[in-house]
């Protein structure tokens, strides 16, 4: 007993496959359930046989086709005779022939597509593409002045090819072409033109592409208003020239192309420059340049002659001599001014040096003044600041020495008592006799002196105090000498 076949295609396996008859019947059942529909296409083959006509209906945009059978009475009822290449719309029912495994359409009615309908569809497509910006002027690419190679897409052995090539070579004999011969009408026109366009666009040696076709009926020019072709031209990187040769109804290719030629002959003239005209232009430019150079040279020659004829040119050295004397004079003035300024600066420096020397503490000491300091370095500013018997240091111009102040009352007669009187502090208000530091004594003698020497000491102490106030000498840091 054999296993039952799977009901669905998804249930089939390598162990339980469908036979071909089952698959064919399944497809036939599915197609039979489809309803009738209206289909539009282009007739590429037409073969009447008895009461039935067989034709191949092809999509005008892509390479797809279906076989169609239509009763001859429906074909005879058409307003215009059915011919190959005609655009038709028909009502048909899809059928699947299980023996041959082919799908075809069984038509009930067939009608030609009217020109008005075609133009309306082209107009709708035109508005759609314009809204996308495919026809904008800022998208147009400039045509090269002298292309290396011209790509030409045209019909096989067509007059358009001859017009473009001959007119271009008549203007520029060295021009080179890359020609692609394609169908320019019928069902395969769009596919072949787009393929040739993409091939030439990929060739880097091709600088411009010309799509050329001679004039024809409006239906024959419909491929050049096809959306696929228009978009292919818009996507191309190479500039495209449209030369369809039909001025009454402008195909959409003219709108999307970078430049529109009215005829293939016009395209041949546009694609390359006129060699004769360019030679004339170059010759004219050369003549103008030569004339301008001659005029400039003559003008400079006249100017040179005028300069040479001047009196000063009779003795050119006079110009140098005058400048030389002027430079010597300026150099002398500069040297004199620099020396005077240096002398003034030296005098100022000397004056400042003398002021510094005169105001220095050492200069004050050189004039006989002295500075009296306590042992801790403080300057004695008033007689009352020095205690009786305090060891003081006296700084003079050539060094320093130590002294001890004595009481003025006992200094005149030290032998009256035979003893040293007790220490008594003096005040700064004393006006009779101002005590001062004693005169430097002999290192071997005592610090206390006689009355006559004390008077001399007081005078010197007064000078020392005055010198200390005026000079404001810095304090000494080294230790004072010990009194003998």
The structural architecture, per CATH, of the domain 34-113 is Beta Barrel (2.40)
pLDDT-derived band at 368 (thresholds 50, 70, 90) equals confident
Asked if the model's pLDDT at residue 427 lies above 60, the reply is: no
Instruction: Decide whether 34-113 matches 135-273 in CATH topology.
Output: no
CA-closest candidate to residue 407, choices 396, 419, 394, 395: 419
At residue 480, the pLDDT reads 40
**The tokens 């067989």 sit on which residue?**
54
Rounded to whole angstroms, the Cα distance separating 233 from 257 reads 7
Rounded to whole angstroms, the Cα distance separating 372 from 124 reads 123
E strand spans, 6-101: 37-49, 52-58, 65-71, 87-97
Burial 89-104 (b: 16+ CB within 10 A, else e): bbbbebebeeeeeeeb
% residues pLDDT > 90 (the chain): 39
Between these two residues, 346 and 42, which has the higher pLDDT value? 346
Superfamily (CATH H level) for 135-273: Succinyl-CoA synthetase domains (3.40.50.261)
User: Which segment, 265-274, 316-325, 469-478, is predicted with the most confidence on average?
Assistant: 265-274
Asked if the model's pLDDT at residue 240 lies above 90, the reply is: yes
Give the sheet arrangement for strand 371-373, strand by strand.
Answer: 371-373, 392-396, 399-403
Average pLDDT of span 219-235: 89
pLDDT digits (tens, 9 = 90+) for 447-475: 333 333 344 444 454 444 444 444 444 44
At residue 62, the pLDDT reads 75
pLDDT digits (tens, 9 = 90+) for 277-289: 888 999 999 999 9
At residue 450, the pLDDT reads 33
pLDDT-derived band at 430 (thresholds 50, 70, 90) equals very low
Asked if the model's pLDDT at residue 23 lies above 60, the reply is: yes
Rounded to whole angstroms, the Cα distance separating 392 from 297 reads 103
pLDDT digits (tens, 9 = 90+) for 341-356: 999 999 999 999 888 8
pLDDT digits (tens, 9 = 90+) for 45-104: 888 888 899 999 988 777 788 999 999 988 888 767 888 878 888 889 999 988 888 899
Residues 53 and 47: beta-carbon distance below 8 Å: yes
Residues 150 and 168: beta-carbon distance below 8 Å: yes
* Alpha helix (H) residue ranges in 211-274: 227-235, 252-256, 264-271
At residue 50, the pLDDT reads 87
Question: Chain-wide mean pLDDT for the chain?
Answer: 81
Asked if the model's pLDDT at residue 441 lies above 50, the reply is: no
275-279 contacts: CB < 8 A, separation 24 or more? 275/171, 275/172, 275/173
At residue 410, the pLDDT reads 62
Rounded to whole angstroms, the Cα distance separating 74 from 108 reads 7
Average pLDDT of span 102-115: 85
% residues pLDDT > 70 (the chain): 82
Asked if the model's pLDDT at residue 299 lies above 70, the reply is: yes
CA-closest candidate to residue 468, choices 375, 390, 370, 384: 370
Domain boundaries defined on the chain:
34-113, 135-273, 280-307, 317-359, 365-418+430-471
Burial 391-430 (b: 16+ CB within 10 A, else e): bbbbbbeeebbbbbbbbbebbeebeeeeeeeeeeebeeee
Beta partners for residue 403, in sequence order: 392
At residue 82, the pLDDT reads 84
């Amino acid at each position: 007993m054999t296993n039952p076949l799977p009901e669905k295609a998804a249930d089939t396996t390598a162990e339980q496959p469908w036979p071909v008859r089952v698959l064919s019947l399944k497809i036939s059942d599915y197609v039979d359930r489809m309803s009738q529909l209206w289909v539009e296409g282009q007739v590429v083959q037409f073969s009447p046989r008895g009461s039935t006509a067989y034709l191949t209906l092809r999509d005008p945009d892509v390479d797809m086709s279906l076989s169609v059978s239509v009763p001859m009475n429906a074909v005879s009822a058409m307003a215009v005779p059915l011919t190959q290449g005609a655009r038709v719309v028909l009502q048909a029912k899809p059928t699947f022939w299980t023996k041959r495994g082919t799908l075809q359409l069984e038509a009930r009615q067939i009608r030609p597509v009217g020109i008005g309908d075609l133009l309306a569809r082209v107009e709708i497509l035109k508005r759609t593409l314009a809204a996308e910006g495919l026809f904008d002027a800022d998208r147009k690419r400039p045509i090269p002045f002298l292309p290396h190679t011209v790509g030409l897409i045209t019909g096989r052995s067509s007059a358009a090819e001859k017009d473009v090539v001959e007119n271009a070579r008549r203007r520029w004999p060295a021009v080179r072409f890359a020609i692609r011969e394609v169908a320019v009408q019928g069902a395969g026109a769009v596919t072949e033109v787009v393929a040739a366009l993409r091939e030439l666009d990929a060739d880097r040696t091709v600088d411009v592409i010309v799509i050329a076709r001679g004039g024809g009926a409006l239906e024959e020019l419909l491929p050049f208003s096809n959306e696929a072709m228009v978009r292919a031209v818009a996507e191309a990187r190479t500039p495209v020239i449209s030369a369809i040769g039909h001025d009454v109804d402008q195909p959409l290719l003219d709108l999307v192309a970078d430049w529109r030629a009215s005829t293939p002959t016009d395209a041949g003239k546009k694609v390359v420059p006129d060699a004769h005209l360019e030679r004339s232009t170059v010759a004219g430019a050369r003549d103008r340049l030569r004339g301008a150079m001659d005029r400039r040279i003559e003008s400079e020659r006249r100017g040179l002659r005028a300069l040479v004829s001047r009196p000063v040119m009779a003795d050119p050295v006079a110009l140098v001599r005058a400048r030389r004397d002027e430079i010597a004079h300026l150099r002398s003035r500069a040297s004199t001014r620099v020396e005077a300024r240096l002398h003034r600066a030296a005098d100022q420096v000397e004056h400042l040096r003398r002021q510094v020397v005169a105001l220095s503490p050492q200069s004050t000491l050189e004039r006989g003044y002295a500075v009296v300091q306590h042992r801790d370095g403080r300057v004695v500013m008033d007689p009352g600041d020095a205690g009786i018997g305090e060891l003081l240091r006296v700084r003079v111009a050539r060094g320093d020495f130590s002294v001890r102040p004595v009481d003025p009352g006992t200094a005149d007669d030290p032998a009256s008592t035979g003893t040293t009187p007790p220490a008594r502090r003096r005040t700064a208000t004393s006006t009779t006799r101002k005590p001062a530091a004693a005169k430097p004594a002999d290192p071997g003698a005592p610090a206390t002196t006689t009355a006559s020497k004390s008077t001399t000491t007081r005078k010197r102490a007064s000078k020392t105090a005055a010198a200390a106030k005026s000079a404001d000498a810095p304090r000494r840091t080294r230790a004072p000498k010990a009194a003998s």
